[in-house]
Amino acid sequence: MQNVNKHFGDLHVLKNINLSIDKGEVVVLIGPSGSGKSTLCRTINRLETFETGTITIDGRTLPDEGKELANLRADVGMVFQSFNLFAHKTILENITLGPIKVRKTPKAEAEKKAMELLKRVGVEAQAQKYPAQLSGGQQQRVAIARSLAMNPKVMLFDEPTSALDPEMVNEVLDVMVGLAKDGMTMIVVTHEMGFARKAADRVVFLSDGEIVESNTPNEFFSNPTSTRAKDFLSKILTH
Amino acid sequence: MGEILARYDFVGAFWLTIQLSFWSALGALMIGTVLAVLRVSPVPVLRLLGTAYVNLIRNTPLTLLMVSSILGLSLILGLRLSNDVKTDAFLWAIVMLSVYHAAFVCEALRSGVNTIPAGQAEAARAIGLTFNQSLTEVLLPQAFRGSIAPLGSTLIALIKNSTVASVIGVSEAAGLMATIVENETGGVPVFFVFALGFVVLTLPLGVLFTSLSRRLAVKR
Ligand SMILES: Nc1ncnc2c1ncn2[C@@H]1O[C@H](COP(=O)(O)OP(=O)(O)OP(=O)(O)O)[C@@H](O)[C@H]1O
Ligand SMILES: [Mg+2]
């Protein structure tokens, strides 16, 4: 993404963001609350509009509207903090909806693939249940499977574990570490330093809508260069 | 009493009420769904159109709509829906009942849409569904389930409001009752029989919709 700028009214939330992510790279996005991490994530698949700049995914510039945008979104998986599983559909239907409606995959094939994905994230036993019958950790793993079912080129995670009870955090992080190992391109907003150290190739520190630092996890956590990053790290590490 | 009812087509009149209600309910549901889609659409002009329709129709007395259909549209402008005068009135009654109750269906659905968390639409867009697909696959099904109770109230209101069709000469239940009360002595029992007829139509519907709304509610 090049020179991306976005305002909410008077608030300049994204200031001239330049960020390039390689295929297979795992980037962890961290920063104080309100720094624009979610907004940055959401502009990448245009759930939020932006005023200037360009975002290019696999050589294709993000279109403005309509069917082409929908097609591009299909290539970008997104996992939300609040899971957002379709409440009126079973777990299996949640996963097959995109493949059937967007990719035009035959139903039987989509279901077979869905069951494989559910197995991979460890919730195949829940396939016929509804989202409300699952625990938060299970729901989030289903949400990851739903994204994976579209064979995305890149996956965005916006604080995927922060709505979960502590004992469920690891089951979701394990799935994400597995994805990273398998070579998925990922952008992850998280405060889970363990995940960043284990799986990230790069940590990008965002503050007040600007990219302040971008470094390997080791360098970033042990030798932050900017005062804002030092400040931020001292706050989260003492907790 | 029994002798009075035997001389008039009591069953036929209620059958007409049922037909009138059935087709109007179907029409209202279709128009109302389109209106609700307009009202939640991202295009301001369409939203304005939907809002204008609802406010205009909801605040116009049904009797006025009914009379203006027959006097204005059918007789003066010659928009006959059938060459047979009775059928013409019957069809116009269905149209006007549909048009009128569509405004209420729209509002019931919109309240259903408002119960859906914003994340549902975002997730739908995020997996690449188009606006139309998000609407038909995710938003409308949840909106219908969330608005079954108010839709039921609208249906019950529609059945009772179908009596207004008698002003343009459709001899449904209330029309027949007026005729009987005019021509026979002892109107009060007749009145009760007709009232009972409507209760028999609407009470089970109320029970049905309450249980449906409980069973189909979207668990979150
Ligand atoms: N829809 C919106 N309208 C107006 N302002 C918004 C909107 N969404 C976010 N903002 C503002 O934009 C700024 C960045 O928000 P964003 O959600 O991207 O932050 P964040 O880094 O994800 O924070 P958190 O860690 O709390 O999730 C905040 O100041 C927020 O108040
Ligand atoms: Mg956020």
Ordered mean pLDDT values, 10 residues apiece, chain B (220 residues): 78 90 96 94 92 95 91 82 87 95 95 90 92 92 92 94 88 84 80 88 91 85
Q: Which two tokens stand for residue A129?
A: 């249940």
Instruction: Give pLDDT, residue A72.
Output: 85
Q: Is B115 on the interface with A (CB under 8 A)?
A: no
pLDDT by residue (tens digit) across B22-53?
A: 999 999 999 999 999 999 888 999 999 999 99
pLDDT (average), residues A115-120: 92
A75–B128 C-beta distance less than 8 A: yes
Q: Distance (Å) from the C-alpha of residue A128 to the closest C-alpha of chain B?
A: 15
Q: Distance (Å) from the C-alpha of residue B119 to the closest C-alpha of chain A?
A: 5
Residues surrounding ion ligand 2 at CB below 5 Å? A 38
From the CB of residue B70, how many other CB atoms can be counted at a distance below 10 Å? 20
8-state DSSP, B165: G
Q: Is A35 in the pocket of ligand 1 (CB under 6 A)?
A: yes
How long, in residues, is chain B? 220
Nearest-atom number in ligand 1 for the CA of A206 is: 21
Q: Distance (Å) from the C-alpha of residue A149 to the closest C-alpha of chain B?
A: 9
Per-position DSSP letters for A106-162, written without gaps between them = -HHHHHHHHHHHHHHTT-GGGTTS-GGGS-HHHHHHHHHHHHHTT--SEEEEESTTT
Containing structural domain, residue B174: 2-215
- Cβ contacts of B130 on chain A, cutoff 8 Å: 66-67, 70
Q: Distance (Å) from the C-alpha of residue A36 to the closest C-alpha of chain B?
A: 18
Sign (positive/negative) of CA torsion B22, B24, B30, B32?
Answer: negative
- Measured in Å, residue B83 CA sits from the centre of ligand 2 at 65
Alpha-carbon gap, residue B63 to B52, rounded angstroms:
20
**Quick check: B146 and B218 in contact, CB under 8 A?**
yes
- Cβ contacts of A88 on chain B, cutoff 8 Å: 138, 141-142, 145, 218
Q: Across the strands, what pairs with A17?
A: A4
Instruction: Give pLDDT, residue A238.
Output: 65
Helix (H) or strand (E) holding B202: helix B187-216
Alpha-carbon gap, residue A162 to A172, rounded angstroms:
11
Q: What does residue A12 show for φ and ψ, rounded to 5 degrees?
A: -90, 90
* Single-letter residue type at A159: E
**Quick check: B128 and A102 in contact, CB under 8 A?**
yes
The verdict on residue B220 lying in a domain is: no
Counting runs of H as helices and runs of E as strands, what totals does chain A give?
A: 9, 11
Alpha-carbon gap, residue B90 to B134, rounded angstroms:
38
From the CB of residue A231, how many other CB atoms can be counted at a distance below 10 Å? 12
8-state DSSP, B5: H
CATH of the domain at B7: 1.10.3720.10
**B41, B43, B127, B138: best mutation site toward chain A, by most A Cβ within 10 Å?**
B127
Nearest one of A69, A106, A115 to B134, comparing CA atoms: A69
Higher pLDDT, A2 or B134: B134
Residue with tokens 């089951």: A171
Q: Is A163 on the interface with B (CB under 8 A)?
A: no
The packing angle between helices B187-216 and B148-161, to 10°, is 160
- Measured in Å, residue B163 CA sits from the centre of ligand 1 at 54
Instruction: Give pLDDT, residue A89.
Output: 94
Tell me if residue A121 falls in helix, strand or coil.
coil
Nearest one of A150, A93, A143 to A121, comparing CA atoms: A143
Share of chain B above pLDDT 90, in %: 55
The verdict on residue B15 lying in a domain is: yes
Q: Is B145 on the interface with A (CB under 8 A)?
A: yes
Higher pLDDT, A70 or A117: A117
Q: Which of residues 50-69 of B touch A (CB under 8 A)?
A: none
B145–A88 C-beta distance less than 8 A: yes
Cα radius of gyration rounded to whole Å, chain B: 20
The verdict on residue B155 lying in a domain is: yes
The verdict on residue B189 lying in a domain is: yes
pLDDT by residue (tens digit) across B79-110?
A: 888 888 889 999 999 999 999 999 999 999 99
Alpha-carbon gap, residue A199 to A192, rounded angstroms:
11
Tell me if residue A206 falls in helix, strand or coil.
strand
Assess whether pLDDT exceeds 60 at residue A138.
yes
* Single-letter residue type at B123: A
- Cβ contacts of B122 on chain A, cutoff 8 Å: 47, 80, 84
When divided into structural domains, chain B yields a total of 1
Q: Is B220 on the interface with A (CB under 8 A)?
A: yes
Assess whether pLDDT exceeds 60 at residue A198.
yes
Q: Which two tokens stand for residue A217?
A: 């996890």
Q: What does residue A154 show for φ and ψ, rounded to 5 degrees?
A: -145, 150
Tell me if residue A161 falls in helix, strand or coil.
coil
Share of chain A above pLDDT 90, in %: 43
Which residues are CB-neighbours of B3 under 8 A, at least 6 positions away?
A: none
pTM of this structure = 0.85
Helix (H) or strand (E) holding A207: strand A202-207
The verdict on residue B73 lying in a domain is: yes
